[in-house]
Amino acid sequence: KQEVTQIPAALSVPEGENLVLNCSFTDSAIYNLQWFRQDPGKGLTSLLLIQSSQREQTSGRLNASLDKSSGRSTLYIAASQPGDSATYLCAVRGSQGNLIFGKGTKLSVKP
């Protein structure tokens, strides 16, 4: 059974710092991996999608990497801002098409 783990569970950084969020998964047979952002009391916003054949994807200040063989993905956020404060969720796509989620990393960026 696929399991997804996100470390750390919470992270607090000063504004302007570059940071890395980690995601690991136990079964490398995935179709793709998706990173989401969730603000308190809100839904999930898709940030990046990496296909199993890709190594990384970039969108603005965000860069996500995927190492399928080792079961790891990282989300790199450059020059963090207070508006980046949210919970970041990693999810892998299984054979049925559904997503299997980690429990998230709660990020706080302090001014």
> What separation, in Å, do the N-terminal and C-terminal C-alpha atoms of the chain show?
41
Paired strand residues for 94: none
Cβ proximity of 50 and 64 under 8 Å:
yes
Choose among 67, 63, 59: nearest CA to 24. Answer: 67
Chain positions 24 to 53 lying near other proteins, rule: CB under 8 A, are 31-32, 34, 36, 42-46, 49, 51
Please state the closest distance from residue 107 (CB atom) to other proteins, in A.
16
Please state the closest distance from residue 46 (CB atom) to other proteins, in A.
5
Q: Which residues contact 94 (CB under 8 A, 6 or more apart)?
A: 2, 30, 31, 100
Instruction: Kindly give the pairing relationship between strand 105-110 and strand 10-14.
Output: parallel
Question: Counting contacts by CB under 8 A, is residue 23 touching other proteins?
Answer: no
Please state the closest distance from residue 51 (CB atom) to other proteins, in A.
6
Chain positions 47 to 106 lying near other proteins, rule: CB under 8 A, are 49, 51, 89, 91, 93, 96-104
Please state the closest distance from residue 79 (CB atom) to other proteins, in A.
25
- What is the contact surface with other proteins in residues (CB under 8 A)? 31-32, 34, 36, 42-46, 49, 51, 89, 91, 93, 96-104
